[in-house]
Structure formats: C-alpha cells, structure tokens
Structure 1
C-alpha cells in the first residue's frame, strides 16, 4: 500500500533533522516530504534544505527511484532531469508546489514520457558528459585477404552494439548535458556495405567518406561500421568510426576481442555466448563518484594545486599571430574549442627503440614515460620554454565488470617534469618522478571540474590550447575466423583539428611506433610540426644515455 503525503508527514518526526538546525531545517509540508525521502535514501538523520543531494552522496542509480516515489507521494510527474535542475530540498519542493495545479488540471491525461516507452533516462559520468559536445571521433580500419561473410559480420557487430549501453545510448546535450537515454530496444548497428571499388586507394577513400559522415550521438548513432571490397587486390576493407563519448582506448581491446567471438558464432548459425555481464551507464557513473571519495582525495587535490601553481603558457617563438587570444570554450564544455591542425605521420622503427626499452625497464618505468621525455625535449629544442604541462589520458580501471565494458573511462594526469617542484640534472629521472607522483594523485583529476578548478579557479575553463598532449594507444588488432586483419595505419586514425598547441599520438606495433604529430595552425606556423618531428627522431636515434647526459 502506497504512503500518502499526509502519512509521510506524520511519520517523518523531528528527530530526523538531528544536526540540521535553524534556517537549514525544512520549511513547509512539501519540503518536509522531500527531505524525508532523500534522507532515507542517503541513510542520514536529516538534510540541509539548501545543500545539493548530489553533493551529499545521491547516485544517479537512485534518481529514477526518487522520481517514481515523488510522483506517488505528490501527484506531480517529476522527470529525471528535474532533480538535476533543482537538486536541493528547497528548490525541488518549490518546483513541485508550482506544478501541483498543472498536475490537477491534467488528471486523467497520460503524461508524456521523457523518452520512448520503456526507455531509461540515466546520468553519465562527468568525463562522458564533457566528451559529448567535443565530437571527437576515432576511425580505424583493417584489410582482410580472404572473403568476409558480410551478413555474419553485421550480425556480430549488432551483438556487440546491443551488449554495451555506451554504444547505443542517446547522449543528451544543452540543458540536459550529463544525461543519456538508454533505449529499451537497442536496435541494430549502423552498418554500410559499399560493394566493390576498382582499386585499393578507391576503397580506402570510399570507406573514409562513409566513416566521416557526422555521427549523431543524440540519436544513439555512437558508432558505425563500413565494409568495402577492392577489385584490384581482391581484399576486403572493414572499418569503424566511434564517438569518444562512449568509447576509449581500452574499448578497442574489448570490441576487437568480442567481434571475432560473435562473428564465429553467427557464421555457425548460433547466438554468441559472453563470459559475463557488462556494466550499465548508471553503474559507471556511480563508480566514478565512488572514486572521488578516496580517503586521501583532499591530499591529492592539494598535490595538483601545488604542482600546477603558476603554470605558464606553452609558447613557441614561431607564433602565427603574436596577438592570438585564448580560443573560446566549446559549447556545453569546460574545454577550450578545437582549432585547425597540421599532421605528420611517421614510423619510429623497432630497431631504434631497443635501447630506450632497455633503459626504461632497467630504471623502473614504462617505456611510454621515456617516449614522453623525448617528446618534451623535442619541444624545447624547437623553441618552447622548458616549463609547460603535458596532459596524458590514462585508462581508469574499475573492477572486472566495468573493465569488460565499452565506455569512456579515461582519466587524465598532467606531467610537468621541468617545473619548479622538480630538481636533478636528468630529464628522464624528472619525468619518471613526475609520472609516479601524478599516478598516485590521479583520482582527483578524473573529474573535469577538479582540473578546471586547479588551472583556472572555480567554474573555470580547462585551457587545453595552452598545453601539449600525449596519447599512447594500444594496437587494435582484429582477426575474423582465423584470418588476421592488417591495420591501415595512414590517414584513418587522426583528426584535422585539435584542442592542444601540440599533440603526439603513439600507436605501438611490431614494426615500431606509429607516430601522429599535430600542431595547431591558428596559433603557430605550420612549419613547426616538421621541426618537432626532426628533433624527435634525432633524440630517439641518439639514445637515452645522450639525453640523460644533457647532450644536444
């Protein structure tokens, strides 16, 4: 039997407000009702009427439950988004009172659902929310020497699509940014069969045109697959385009592991069997909030405040425009806007990396940290002042279920090896120290708000155009029915715009490191990219001992 509003008021009692006194106690019947409900959900004696229920610990998993109970108790339909817009007891109660008359006038008329019938509206993590307006799309493709069963591959891609909420959710923007609609029926993957092209190059160009048609994440178009065949070589080209809102570097490994399983099952006329369940978007948002409750979270925040205090602008002498201003924020985001960029792609052969890999192993650091030191030194030799920050995305491991789930779980660290807190003559040692300390304090920088607060003050912008970036990616390999695909390494993985002054994208392979180097051309001369590339290759060839000794 449902509790009426009057019964709820009579059973609430004043003891529930223990510790909440004076003007922070609920005012009026509706505030008492709302306070009682959320205090029960949060398992606390009472709530201040002006404090956000999210700051007090309410997770998005419980928001849908709260909406349903408030509607039962007040007769007013409360949308999921409304609790985010009016997150305090006082604000939500005032909104309910203001809408009570409308609810009475609409009695007997079914309320319009906020999503489709049976769809679920959920909160997503701040990392995902910040990615929605950025429209960052990653492309990748493989050549296959043998025939591909297009029907089985499309069914397999649909199996993966339906298994992961992040791949079929509708990500909202504008005032509803931070929310997503998860459809009751995920539907089928967007899959394009382009037929035959005369040459390999024509096949690649056809694939790129289709992959680069804008995705519509607000409609659940988070990714697409394309299949095309070359008459010249008889090979088949298969490619993916995925929006970063629901996808990260770890997700490549998941998709390229699950597609072959599903493909083999569909070729055999079976439904694929998976090793375990995946996490929902709501679970991932809750996990994100739990990480920010780390016992030493304030100590981590203090580390970043100290480490990034008085961070200078990353500036090169070859400015395109001496009076260039900081680009505006992207709509709906804390991040500054994208700018045009020039790209250089090149390979660092495995033979040139052996000394670096040995050095990293002998000195207790990942080889990627040694590459980061080479990157920093190449920028300094190209004219950058030595002290600047480098942003590095780091996969956020969160337990078995979330780790097998396609999503955007990326956290960030910032490395400042030449900053005032670093000492010692060797850049490689300073980089290792910066990396180790940053990883120990990374929970705080999982939240874009924390990063903005550190760099710009409360509610500030994250000035990505004033930093450099390093993305160290995994190698996405794909095998279908025992046939290994050959990764297309040129032109499909990099965008023509970037947020950063300079960005280095690194993808390991058996041949070595595939490098993509970008420089913003609205801030710097396009020729800067070739200078940096030249210095990078020279430092690699000279070896770590030369860099450690400070040799040019």
Structure 2
C-alpha cells in the first residue's frame, strides 16, 4: 500500500499512468524520470461529478448491499473501533466533533435505499446526533466492571445496520469513572475501510480542538466525495462491450489467470462445511519476533520483492504443506485509492484480488517467491477490476457455503498509522476482538514495535471460521507459519518439502503416542483361541444356526475330527483349502478345522463364474475344496470336493490336533487365511494373512469392545470378506455365541428380525446396511461396530445414543482391521487409533511424518500386516 500511495501521488500530479511494475523495474527517482512523460495518462480526472437523481453504488458497495439484504443485517461486515480516554474530556465538544466528521464525509451520512429494485445512494442532510444508537450519548459503566464494559462494546460491535434507512455509523461514549471514558464506534464496511481510519480519527481530533475553543473546524475542503467516486468509477473503467476499454482489457487478464481455479480450497477442517456459514469466528494471535522480521525484510530486499510478497509466499507454502494442494488462491486487498483526491476521504475503496500460486514440494522457496512477485505485479497492473464485477463475469459456481474464488485471505497492514489526539486528554486505541469470520481463514499482520526493545517486529491474528475449525487446529497452523518463516529466513532457497513443521512435542505425539509403536500384542497360533475358550467354559454356547446350536466343546471336537480328514487329504502348513460355503455352522467348523490342520483357509463364492473360482484355487494351489449339502462348485478342476455334511467323522479322534499329527510343524509365520479382492484391474488378487497377527487382533476385540462371555455376536458378513473373520474372532475371544444370519437375511426387516429374535447384542455391520434396520426394535443391540465404508455422522447421531458404537478401519492387507474409534453423536467420525500391535503413521510425499490434521498416506506396520500377495 505504500507503493500505491506513491503511485497515486505521481500519477495525479504528473498526469501519467505509471504502473507498479515500472516502480519495481525502476526503483530510483532517476530511473523513474526517464520513463515518465507528463500528461500522457489519458485518465479521466476524478473531480466533483454532476449528481443524477439516482446515484449508483460503487461496484464494491453493491455486493455488501446485497449481503446486508440477504442476511438480514448481520454484523459480518461491521468494523468496530474503540478508544480509552483519560483526562478532562469535554463531552459536548466530542459529540459535536462526531457530528462535524459525519458532516465532512458524505459516506458517513449516506443510506442505501432500493429504488425500483436498484440499490442507490442517498446522502442525508447533516444534523446533530445521527451517530447515536438511541437514548443518551453517554452511558455510565462502573470502572471496576471491565466485563460489563466489554459486553457493551461487543454489543455495539454487533449492531445490525439497516442500510436502507440508517447511516453506516453508530457511536457510544461510556463513562467508566472520574475523567475516564471509552469511545466506541462501529461502522459498516460499505462506507469505511482500513485506510479510512487515519483520516477519520485525524478529523475527529481537529474538530474536537475547534469545538473546545468554541469554534467550528477550519479544515481544507475535500476535493471529492464518495458519490463522486462511484459515478467516476463507471466512466473510468469504461464499457464491458468495448474491447479496448480499461475494464475489458483487465478482465481478459483475470479470465486467463483464474481459469480452472478450484471452486473451494481443500483446507484440513475439523467439521464439514455447512450449507450456509454462521460467520462466527475466533482468532489466534500471530507474531514474528524482531530477528525473524528483520530476516523477512532481508529476504525481500535480496529478491526485490515487498515484505507483503514474502508473507504471501510463506502462507502459500503453509497451505500447501497443510494439504491444500498445489493450486493455492489467496485473497489479498489493495487500497483502491489510485487517485490523489481519495487519500483523505472516508469510504469503501479497498479492492480485493486473487493471488494464485502453483507450487509443489520439490520447488525451492525462492522459486515460489519469484512466482508470487510476478503474479503480484501482474495483479497490481490489473487492479481496477472490482472484485464484485470479477465474480459476476467469471461466474463461478454460486454457493452460500463459501466465499467465491478464494476462502483464505492475507492482509499486511501498512496503512498510515492513525494519529489519535484529543486536546487536554490522553487517548489510546483499545483492542477490539470481533467474533466474526468473513473467510475460512484470514491472516492480518502489521509491523509494530517490540514491547521490550522497541525494535520492529510483526504481530497479527489469524481469524478462523468456528463452523469449520477447532482452536487447537488454528494454533497448530500458526505454529507452522512460524516454522516456515524461520526456515526461509535461514535459507530462502530451502526446498518446500524439506521445511520441518513439527516441533518436538508434535513429533513425539505422532511418532510415539499416536502411532501405536512399541505396544506389544499377543502372538501365537490361531487355534489357541478356541482352545482357550473351551478351557474356560466348554459348555458355553459357541454357534447358533437356528435351530441348531453348538457348545464350545462340540465346536472344538467336530473341528478336530474334520482337521484330521483334511490332513489325510494332504492339507498342512502353507497348503490351501478352498471353502465354498454360505453362512452356516459348517462354515465356522471348516474355518477351525483348516487352521488346526495347519492349512490356509481360502473362501470362494459358489455364485462367482467358474473362471474366477478356478483362478483363485489355481493361484493358491488349493489341495481340496470344502462344501456342504451337495451344492455344486464350478471351477474346481481335478481337486477333490469334500461335502462336510456327507462325511462320517465318528471314526476320527476328537482330541486336540498337535504338530505330531500335522504334515509339518505349524509356526506363527505360516499363512492362516487368504482373502481375494477384485483388485484395481478386476482380476482376483489374494492377500495372505499369517497366524502372527490373529491372536493380537482377537485380544483387541475383547479389550476394546467389551463384549462379555455368554453374549451373542452376529455373523452376517459374506464369507469371502475378511469381515467374516472379524466376527468369528470377536465371538471366540469374548467367549460369546456366534449367531448365524440366514442367507436371505442380510439387511432391512429380515436382518432386523434375526437380531431381535435371536437376542443379538453385538454386531459388525456396514453403514449402508445399518441404515436399513429398524432401530426402534433393536434396543438389545448394545454394541455396534461399523466398517467397510465411511460412516455418516447422521447415522452415528441416530444409533450411538444408548449403546456403544465403534468404527473399525483396515484394508485387506492387514489382519482385518488396523484402527478403531469410539463414536458419539455430534462428534467427528474418524478412523481413530491403532489396534494394539499395529503401528500406524501418516507420512507425506517425502516419507516425513505429516503434522496433525494434514493429509498424507497411511503406513501400517506390525504383526497384523499381511505377509504379502499370493
């Protein structure tokens, strides 16, 4: 903005049209003089205009007017300020001074009525007290009630302007003790911007001094008023239909520059974006200490850029590293006062343009900074297009849920610092923290003196939308900002992906506390699970396949007998058995029999094409295929097909199967089962899971879900999915009964009837199926685990109250599941923490630990990891 002030002065006094790029390319007076030709601008001078009956709004005002009408006068675009005053204050003089300032600046006594559907400006005659909220100008508040004072100021800041009938300024004087006052002012952005602060408070001081002396202020008349600017703006920009007009040429640049811009920035939010924002916000303080700030300035000088450009490049890197992507859009303001006549005028002139930066983790920061410089200078050269007109012409997908074109803004405030002076009284600005957020993120930084040394430093605030973010997330983001600043100050050519964002505490959090690393899990052979359950309570119910029931003793003995048949058929360690059965007690028996024989359990779906079944069986070199009830199985080739229901097992021993009975000793590294998925190509792809992870996963079922012995666990998953293994291990680890859902009972009323009729207390069900169940009939279902797909928050809100609800996540390449989380209504649904025995890390593209809240790839390790593909 300092450059903008210089340009406005040079262009106005010399009647030239010098651009920002010229200023950067010719930074000395001598160099500039060679490039300037006086009287060459061809610009239409900004002078008082002939006022028509209906004065149009400026382009910038139009959008705020529509928002004010659409949103019912919410305080989103209010600009509150406050001053603490100590000393002998002449209250009458101050009130008159406020009247004088409103008289001087027409923008402060303008209303915006709708005339035949068209918004317009109407300047009201000056009269005393237009600024009052109503009632007394001075309100007494006890000095020791600081909270009461702040409540009053917050209420003032939240004033809801009706712009059609009310001027855009309200003020209140608070008396908080003898010779102690607070002046609170709130202005609507439609008539005020950050630059306006300095001329307004200067004028208040001049008017106050005059009134204290019994005089009227004798200030120099303003060359133009805001209504003049509104009329001039449209003439200055020209006609959109004229390809040679200023507006058409600059719009052409922006169309190309913003083509293909992502509609919404992919910020790592804590909550889904609501259909319409509440505009509630909060802020986290941000500071750059004197040494780092001096370093920022040194980097700016080294690369012939402004400090603002360095900050923009830093923020772009922060957003990229936070997972936003490689196409970053930042909203950035420009003063919009490109004529000297506007320098001392109160009004809404600031324009917004979009800085679009493309970057990746392999780039150096210096390259990013060079790009920002180029984009910024091009943007400044095409700054006349009002943002509102840009949105209208680009016509992005309209949505009430987010700001158009950009959702992150960065402002480096280097406006003229307002000189506040009231004759005979001490006055100082007060911090006014507003709780509104116009954007998802809004970084506001200014240079200030360090409180101790007085050296220049930077301080500001990162305002965020509380609809989207928790405070802790923004505190981390501010920390990352500081990390990037430190890195680029140390080396401006640092590679973007090598900037370390984690501090020691966060590194310890993600590498140790959250990763599950170092947490041991039970390791052993899968058959030990059934043996443990039998030893604890052999007569407990193990399987319910209505109307048949099996105790743990019966399940153990039958599976021992079948295991011996399999051994005789050539099944042993690393030798697979195809199991072609639907949900049934026989399927559970077959599972345990294959494991006890030392074989590899491989489920196949009889309904699949023969070619697919053959591919699966050939891939694992299955020794034989188990089926039941004489059901035919295609694609088995020459392999023996064993119908378990037709077997006479009475002659086989029911004693436990030991290594001496097997073809070879069974080890924890041997495969326990293999699950085939379609893979990305549609060709069956098998994953082999060893015994190593089975016991630990089963123990996790028992410890995390809390199902007690004697409870009933649903068996509803298709046998070819590892969710079926989840159900079996859950039941046996908890010494619960496995309730088999009939083949035609997989969702809706049929499955509801099974859960209700069989008194099922615990189940793993996909969210899609849960949504089909009748919740009113399933109060007995006290433990519900969802998995296999993302669980909607609405489903959690409906099902979590009154029961324990969990989310289980894991790819086929681990032993069923890798992470888990407890679900509660109103809380985000996350994949949660690692299952004991699992190490889980989120890493970035360079295999560095990703900071908390940043998107990366999930890496899993530990005994639960699959042995590999088959």
TM normalised by structure 1 equals 0.69
2: CA distance between counterparts of 1:299 and 1:461? 31
CA contact (8 A) 1:123 1:179 kept: yes
Q: Report what 1:320 is aligned to.
A: 271
Alpha-carbon offset, residue 170 of structure 1: 1.0
The partner residue of 1:517 within 462, 466, 472 is 462
Residues 60 and 431 of structure 1, relative CA distance in 2, 3 Å threshold: same
1: CA distance between counterparts of 2:117 and 2:333? 26
Q: What SS does structure 2 have at the residue aligned with 1:197?
A: coil
- Work out whether 1:487 is the aligned partner of 2:432: no
Residues 292 and 202 of structure 1, relative CA distance in 2, 3 Å threshold: same
Residues 174 and 242 of structure 1, relative CA distance in 2, 3 Å threshold: same
- Work out whether 1:304 is the aligned partner of 2:246: no
Q: Which moved more, 1:278-287 or 1:182-191?
A: 182-191
CA contact (8 A) 1:61 1:286 kept: yes
2: CA distance between counterparts of 1:311 and 1:260? 46
The partner residue of 1:198 within 131, 134, 143 is 143
The partner residue of 2:87 within 142, 146, 150 is 146
Alpha-carbon offset, residue 396 of structure 1: 1.0
CA contact (8 A) 1:455 1:462 kept: no
- Work out whether 1:383 is the aligned partner of 2:323: yes
- Work out whether 1:364 is the aligned partner of 2:304: yes
Residues 63 and 237 of structure 1, relative CA distance in 2, 3 Å threshold: closer
What are the ranges of 5 or more consecutive residues in structure 2 without an aligned counterpart? 1-46, 69-74, 239-243, 451-456, 500-870
Q: Report what 1:53 is aligned to.
A: none
The partner residue of 1:478 within 414, 417, 420 is 420
CA contact (8 A) 2:261 2:405 kept: no
Q: Report what 1:217 is aligned to.
A: 163
2: CA distance between counterparts of 1:447 and 1:461? 18
Residues 529 and 433 of structure 1, relative CA distance in 2, 3 Å threshold: same
Counterparts of 1:364-513 in structure 2 under 5 Å?
364-418=304-358, 426-444=367-385, 446-454=386-394, 456=396, 463-464=403-404, 466-473=406-413, 474=415, 475-481=417-423, 485-489=427-431, 492-498=432-438, 500-511=439-450, 512-513=457-458
1: CA distance between counterparts of 2:281 and 2:213? 46
Residues 275 and 362 of structure 1, relative CA distance in 2, 3 Å threshold: farther
Q: Which moved more, 1:388-397 or 1:340-349?
A: 340-349
1: CA distance between counterparts of 2:247 and 2:405? 27
1: CA distance between counterparts of 2:115 and 2:463? 30
What are the ranges of 5 or more consecutive residues in structure 1 without an aligned counterpart? 1-58, 65-79, 81-120, 329-336
Q: Report what 1:182 is aligned to.
A: 123
- CA deviations over 1:137-179 (Å, ceiling 9, x no partner): 0111222332322211111111001111110111125964530
Residues 389 and 407 of structure 1, relative CA distance in 2, 3 Å threshold: same
2: CA distance between counterparts of 1:300 and 1:207? 42
Alpha-carbon offset, residue 280 of structure 1: 3.1
Q: Report what 1:131 is aligned to.
A: 64
Q: What SS does structure 2 have at the residue aligned with 1:414?
A: strand
Counterparts of 1:222-371 in structure 2 under 5 Å?
222-231=168-177, 235-293=180-238, 295-312=245-262, 313-318=264-269, 320-321=271-272, 324=273, 327=275, 339-371=279-311
Using CA pairs under 8 Å that are at least 6 residues apart, name the structure with larger relative contact order, 1 or 2: 1
The partner residue of 2:480 within 519, 528, 535 is 535
Q: What SS does structure 1 have at the residue aligned with 2:186?
A: strand
CA contact (8 A) 1:320 1:524 kept: yes
2: CA distance between counterparts of 1:203 and 1:148? 19
1: CA distance between counterparts of 2:246 and 2:84? 48
CA contact (8 A) 1:449 1:459 kept: no
1: CA distance between counterparts of 2:184 and 2:289? 25
2: CA distance between counterparts of 1:476 and 1:541? 31
Greater Rg by CA: 2
CA contact (8 A) 1:427 1:547 kept: no
Q: What SS does structure 2 have at the residue aligned with 1:219?
A: coil
- CA deviations over 1:416-461 (Å, ceiling 9, x no partner): 12269xx9752222222211111011112x2512233225289999
Q: Report what 1:164 is aligned to.
A: 105
Q: What SS does structure 2 have at the residue aligned with 1:218?
A: coil
CA contact (8 A) 1:138 1:243 kept: yes
Q: What SS does structure 1 have at the residue aligned with 2:218?
A: coil
TM normalised by structure 2 equals 0.45
Residues 185 and 151 of structure 1, relative CA distance in 2, 3 Å threshold: closer
Q: What SS does structure 2 have at the residue aligned with 1:464?
A: coil
Residues 230 and 350 of structure 1, relative CA distance in 2, 3 Å threshold: farther
Q: What SS does structure 1 have at the residue aligned with 2:458?
A: strand
2: CA distance between counterparts of 1:170 and 1:545? 52
Alpha-carbon offset, residue 224 of structure 1: 1.7
| Structure with the largest fraction of helix | 1
CA contact (8 A) 1:365 1:432 kept: yes
- CA deviations over 1:347-368 (Å, ceiling 9, x no partner): 4344431111232244333222
CA contact (8 A) 2:85 2:427 kept: yes
Count of residues paired in the alignment: 422
2: CA distance between counterparts of 1:267 and 1:428? 52
Alpha-carbon offset, residue 251 of structure 1: 0.8
Q: Which moved more, 1:163-172 or 1:281-290?
A: 281-290
